[in-house]
């Protein structure tokens, strides 16, 4: 059902079963997949594609112009995967350079007042809790969990299955599989690893790898030790490759897990 007060651009393409609530504006060549539900007072604009089964709640803005002084109106894109949940007053901006894309994978939840800036890439099954803000070009790995009001510096990368605490300012890359609380890495994301089906032996290896990585050795020496301890394990190979490909540097401090005053 499309409410009579909704404004739908003739260029827009709506799949079967799409529901659009009052006072929402669909502007431009937007494509909305089947069975999507769009709440009231939303604005979906630009070259935006929304996958089937996605729900967008009241006041959200998807595909808006990037907050970048250099943006001159060039064509760029926003792509939202299937079965995503964008809650109240979420903002997601299109790419800032010609033909570039801001993307969310499948089954992503962005809770109320979350912000995803231009050219971000958020993988499948990520959760961004209320008020999380991603600056431009941030990359979030699959099944990562970012707690409330945490802020990401531009170009930061968050590894697969990482879990970050609330009210943090992240300026460096965060390695896969770890848990970060306030002042550093406190160990593996045990609950996330279990839910992902990672067996106990692999979890133990990852725990040892994270302990080695945060133990104070020079980075190259720590990585060599991690590889030597667990050769050929895919999760370790992914961990090491992530660190070696970092351009901003990687968070390595070992946290206490206690909130700083």
Q: Indicate whether 60 belongs to any domain.
A: yes
pLDDT tens readout for residues 127-141: 999 999 999 999 999
Instruction: Give me 139's structure tokens.
Output: 């990359």
Nearest alpha carbon to residue 215 among 185, 238, 170, 260: 185
Q: Indicate whether 17 belongs to any domain.
A: yes
pLDDT tens readout for residues 196-234: 999 999 999 999 999 999 998 999 999 999 999 888 889
Whichever domain contains 67, its CATH number is 2.160.10.10
Q: Indicate whether 72 belongs to any domain.
A: yes
Q: What is the DSSP string of 15-75?
A: -TT-EE-TT-EEESS-EE-TT-EE-TT-EEESEEEE-TT-EE-TT-EEEEPPS-TT--S--
Round to whole Å and give the CA distance between 128 and 164.
10
User: Does position 260 have pLDDT exceeding 80, yes or no?
Assistant: no
Domain carrying residue 115: 7-137
What sections of 113-233 are H helices per DSSP?
190-195, 200-213, 219-229
pLDDT tens readout for residues 47-91: 999 999 999 999 999 999 999 999 999 999 999 999 999 999 999
Q: Indicate whether 131 belongs to any domain.
A: yes
Kindly report which listed range (11-20, 146-155, 187-196, 250-259) carries the lowest average pLDDT score: 250-259
> Could you tell me the pTM of the whole model?
0.94
Q: Indicate whether 238 belongs to any domain.
A: no
DSSP letter, residue 5: T
Q: Indicate whether 151 belongs to any domain.
A: no
Place of tokens 């971000």: 120
Would you give the distance in Å from CA 104 to the centre of its chain?
A: 7
Q: Indicate whether 109 belongs to any domain.
A: yes
Nearest alpha carbon to residue 213 among 177, 182, 241, 253: 253
Contact 162, 178 (CB under 8 A): yes
| CA quadruple 244, 191, 152, 219: dihedral, nearest 10 | -30
Number of domains in the chain: 1
Q: Indicate whether 190 belongs to any domain.
A: no
């Amino acid at each position: 059902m499309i409410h009579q007060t909704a404004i739908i651009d003739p260029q827009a393409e709506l799949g079967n079963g799409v529901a659009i609530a009052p006072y929402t504006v669909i502007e431009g060549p937007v494509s909305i997949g089947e069975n999507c539900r769009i709440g009231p007072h939303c604005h979906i604009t630009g070259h935006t594609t929304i996958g089937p089964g996605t729900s967008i709640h009241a006041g959200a803005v998807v595909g808006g112009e990037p907050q970048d002084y250099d943006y001159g109106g060039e064509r760029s894109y926003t792509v939202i995967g299937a079965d995503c949940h964008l809650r109240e007053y979420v903002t997601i901006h299109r790419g800032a350079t010609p033909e570039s894309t801001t993307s969310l994978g499948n089954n992503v939840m962005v809770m109320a007042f979350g912000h995803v800036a231009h050219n971000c890439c958020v993988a499948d099954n990520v959760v961004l809790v209320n008020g999380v803000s991603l600056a431009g070009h941030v990359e979030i790995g699959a099944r990562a969990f970012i707690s409330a009001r945490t802020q990401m510096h531009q170009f930061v990368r968050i590894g697969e299955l990482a879990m970050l605490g609330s009210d943090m300012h992240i300026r460096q890359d965060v390695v896969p599989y770890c848990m970060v609380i306030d002042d550093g890495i406190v160990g593996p994301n045990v609950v996330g690893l279990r839910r992902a089906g990672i067996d106990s032996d692999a979890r133990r290896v990852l725990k040892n790898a994270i302990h080695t990585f945060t133990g104070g050795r020079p980075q190259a020496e720590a990585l060599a030790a991690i590889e030597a301890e667990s050769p050929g394990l895919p999760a370790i190979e992914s961990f090491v490759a992530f660190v070696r490909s970092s351009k901003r540097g990687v968070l390595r401090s070992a946290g206490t897990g206690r909130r700083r005053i």
